[in-house]
Chain A
Amino acid sequence: MSSTTASLANAPTTDTGLNHAARTPRAMYWRRFRRNPLCITGALLLALLMFLAAFGHLLAPHDPILVNTADRFIAPGAQYFFGTDEFGRDIFSRILYGARIAVQVGIVSVVVAFVGGIVLGLISGYYSGWIDTILSRLLEIWLSFPDILFVIAVVAILGPSLNNVIVALGFLSIPAYARIVRGSVMSARQEVYVEAARSVGVSNARIMGRHILPNVVAPLIILSSLRFGGALLTGAGLSFIGLGAQPPEPEWGAILSGGRTYMYQAPWITVFPGIAIAVFVLGINMLGDGLRDVLDPRLTR
């Protein structure tokens, strides 16, 4: 809980922040971010994941998909760092290529949820009345499906594939974003500065974009980091049971699943992708927890 004490210790400084003319809110957040160990560790792990997604294919010593039956089930060593699987494929290279898939799952699903949630939330909160009533009911029905069940239902409709899982994960999170946006739009609508903007003839779209949205950026960033980690976990889980990435795609959950049968003779096939998922999801969750401390000190655990 060092982060808690850290942000509490910082509190007086931030309160008197007005005395320092040069200190903008952004500088203040950045300062708190740098001093928060959760944020730093999480951000570094996320950066590593992004780096692997971008350049992993250059670092990979072997082809991730090419079958090489002469080298089946080789234990981890100098030639194959993480060993090989039943097709003689290098697990290390497969995990490196898998980083790109993991980042795709996280980013695309969060972007889908972000865009969809903001649009629905803005419309619902800004126009209120019957549009709001209908949209709110719709979101309620949407939220009444248990998480994994929702994703599974979408996959049932569209068919098992990684892309469909990504779409499903995005749609799953739309209501969470929409609720946050709707709530703050409703309260911001009462504010004097919005009233003022409207009275001087600023358009609805501009009011929403310039005057209302900036208020919800912090909770949306926190939510996004948590959903990113959740999407990685659920995406890997669904690929693991065969509803997501299909062989020979080097998705981490799918690699794990492939190693299931050979756990006795070749445990490394299951061990390494599991570690990869755990470490990066851990990093993203740490970043999420840290961002919550930094951006919203009231919510400190």
Chain B
Amino acid sequence: MARYIINRLFQAVIVLIGVSIAVAAMTEFVPGDPALAILGENASPDAIAALREEMGFDDPFWVQYGRFIERLLTEGSLGTSLRTNREVLVEIGDRLPYTLMLTFGAVGLSTVLGITSGILAAVRRGKPTDMAVLVGTTAGLSVPSFWVALLMIWFFSIRLGWLPVAGAGTWQHLVLPTLTLALPSIATKSRLTRSAMLEALGQDYIRTGRAKGLRERRVILVHALRNALLPVMTIVGLQFGALLGGAFITEVIFGWPGVGQLAVNSILQRDFPVVQGTVLLVTVGFVLTNLIVDILYAWADPRIHYA
């Protein structure tokens, strides 16, 4: 177990170094001159030369990467935004609480609804409840969530006037974005819970439990669920990272002032340091969540022995 954790940590460090190289190399892959791409076609040659100098585009990649890492480790800086001249980390830091609020809300909502509907479907296998959940989850995975978001805005905000159309501030602002973000995730978790529950319910210990006269409620909620939840919890962890990235579209629709909106605006304005900073931070968050999930999994499931 200790050896597995050390291996896994070592692996995560390598991945993080790789990710940082890939992110630092982003400007290398910009077709043509990155300074020209940032400033636009009408920029003066002097301005382009000055930016090249400032960003260090003329140095070989490894020199640029060294500078990137050195600045990050010694000054804790990811550079400054080309548009606002503020520290990238400050820009992101201002937005991060909003994205985390949205992500945690969506993870919580999708976990509760996904697991509940999955259990119901498994227990009522083949019955109308199961069919309804199947139809619901298939729709959840196929219907574009940004479209559902628009329909919800139209219905709840425009027609009924119950919820704000966009922005942030009150709990009412949080309702529609959280629902939008949670939607596909509810479907994934529900399907997974259903199949894990069906597998658990087919085990011998369930029959034993029933045979010794345990209440069906206890058999399902304690004996089967406890074993079915393990794979589901892994997905909950993995989806946390995915939702962190997936919040991009949702944030743009609802004018939610989070990291995703910042990233999309920065791409459209060619503000590379901010784009790089966002990609790096969200990916690091994703890698670390995966790491924690893996370690928790090894700890929670004593049957598994890792080499």
Contacts and interface: CB of A to CB of B under 8 A. Distances in A.
Interface of A: 1, 137-138, 140-141, 144-149, 152-153, 155-160, 229, 233, 236-238, 240-243, 253, 256, 260, 263-264, 267, 270-271, 273-274, 277-278, 281-282, 285-286, 301
Interface stretch (B66-74, B281-289, B298-306): B281-289
Contacts of B264: 152, 241-243
Given A236-B144, A243-B264, A282-B139, A146 B242 contact: yes
Nearest to B20: A141
7 contacts: A146-B241, A149-B279, A153-B26, A256-B144, A263-B153, A264-B158, A270-B151
Given A140-B11, A256-B146, 16 more contacts: A137-B15, A144-B287, A145-B245, A147-B242, A152-B245, A152-B263, A156-B26, A160-B268, A236-B144, A237-B144, A253-B144, A256-B144, A263-B153, A273-B147, A274-B151, A282-B143
A164 to B, nearest CB: 10
A262 to B, nearest CB: 11
B125 interface: yes
A157 B130 CA distance: 45
B29 interface: yes
Contact of A270 (B26, B27, B150, B263): B150
B154 interface: yes
Contacts of B263: 152, 156
A244 to B, nearest CB: 11
A81 B241 CA distance: 42
Contacts of B195: 301
Interface of B: 11, 14-15, 18-19, 22-23, 26-27, 29-31, 37, 125-126, 130-131, 134, 138-139, 141-147, 150-151, 153-154, 158, 191, 194-195, 241-242, 244-246, 248-249, 252-253, 263-264, 266-268, 272, 275, 279, 282-283, 286-287, 290
A141 B147 contact: no
Contacts of A159: 31, 37
Given A152-B267, A270-B147, A1 B134 contact: yes
Contacts of A271: 151
A240 B14 contact: no
B132 to A, nearest CB: 12
A149 B283 contact: yes
Nearest to A159: B37
Contacts of A153: 23, 26, 275, 279
Given A141-B19, A160-B268, A237-B249, A282 B142 contact: yes
A-B pairs, top 8 by smallest CB distance, nearest first, are: A146-B245, A141-B18, A274-B147, A282-B142, A149-B245, A278-B143, A241-B252, A281-B142
Given A148-B245, A285-B138, A263 B18 contact: no
Most buried by B among A233, A256, A301: A233
B267 A229 contact: no
A301 B190 CA distance: 13
B142 A285 contact: yes
